[in-house]
Amino acid sequence: MSLIKTASEFGRVAVLMGGRSAEREISLKSGHAVLDALLKQGIDAHKIDAGVDVSEQLRTGHFDRAFVILHGRGGEDGEIQAVLQSLDLPFTGSDMTAAVLSMNKNLSKQLWQHQGLPTAEFELVNADSDIEYLVSKLGLPIIIKPVNEGSSIGMTKVNSADDLKSAITLATEFDAEVIAEQWIHGEEYTVAILNDHALPVIQLKTPHEFYDFEAKYQSNTTEYLCPCGLSKQDEEHCQQIALQAFKGLRMSGWGRVDFMRDKTGQFYLLEANSIPGMTDHSLVPMAAKQAGLNFEQLVWAILETSMGGADNG
């Protein structure tokens, strides 16, 4: 049930997209899809390519709220949220603190461990890390991840200890902070969250080593199963963990939580996304469709998350 009955109640809406991150092109695709859906519903929406002058554009644009669809750095790391909060401009999704916590894989996993939620073993690493120790603690394969990047950018699955240093070096090209994570053998799932409700679970299947950038945005061989094939009990369990993980990072409005499920049926949290993709390959629209929401209704519902005030929870 929509809280807002007429498009005019939203006022003048800035759709923040693009930006300067490694995910700029994906953000522009998501942003244009969102903008088109808002305009089709009669909402007074305007594209803002969030460059260095974004504060000035927002200040002089006389906007009533912002739909944030910036992926990666500048969008999901708290930077744009800090700007919007300083301008007292309501916006979609999580606030600055939650954006920082969800973007930083190291902080996310530490908080989840503190909550008693399941996540794969991991270590912060750098070029001087003890490779022998890493392999003894995490086993092989190991996945190397930049701490503050999304869309699998800079990630490598490492099958041999000899390849660990080069994988860490690659990851440090994208971020000064890097983690090595235990590889979970099993199936990958994702849960979209919208207004404190978990949407139907999606299972991801790819012939790639893992659900990497190409599998996410370019490949036609990636399969998305929704219904996901889990039993009702397992799906509800996965959704419950997702909601706990989402709230544990102080996230609000909407987002996505990613999982692996090992051969014994145990779920492991991978990461949370405070501003997931909204392209034709994206997962949140797919889950929303299974829940009975088309793309335009989903975009409307996300924009409604900006109506609670500038503090965004």
Residue keyed to tokens 């500048």: 74
In order of their start, the domains of the chain are 7-93 (3.40.50.20), 101-118+185-290 (3.30.470.20), 122-182 (3.30.1490.20)
What per-residue confidence (pLDDT) applies to 151? Answer: 52
What per-residue confidence (pLDDT) applies to 21? Answer: 85
What per-residue confidence (pLDDT) applies to 80? Answer: 96
Burial zone of 162 (CB within 10 Å; 0-12 exposed, 13-18 middle, 19+ buried): exposed
* Nearest-angstrom CA–CA distance, 146 and 125: 10
What per-residue confidence (pLDDT) applies to 259? Answer: 95
**Residues 6 or more apart from 162 whose CB is under 8 A from it?**
none
Using 70 as the pLDDT threshold, list the residues of the chain that sit under it.
1-3, 149-152, 207-221, 308-313
* Nearest-angstrom CA–CA distance, 275 and 286: 15
Give 33-42 contacts, CB < 8 A, sequence gap 24+: 33/278, 33/279, 33/280, 33/295, 34/67, 34/69, 34/278, 34/299, 37/295, 37/296, 37/299, 37/300, 38/13, 38/67, 38/299, 38/300, 38/303, 40/296, 41/7, 41/296, 41/299, 41/300, 42/7, 42/8
What per-residue confidence (pLDDT) applies to 22? Answer: 79
What per-residue confidence (pLDDT) applies to 5? Answer: 80
What per-residue confidence (pLDDT) applies to 8? Answer: 96
Active site residue ranges? 23, 151, 217, 256, 258, 271, 273, 277
Global confidence as pTM = 0.89
Please, what is the average pLDDT of the chain? 91
pLDDT per position as a tens digit, 219-274: 566 789 999 999 999 999 999 999 999 999 999 999 999 999 999 999 999 999 99
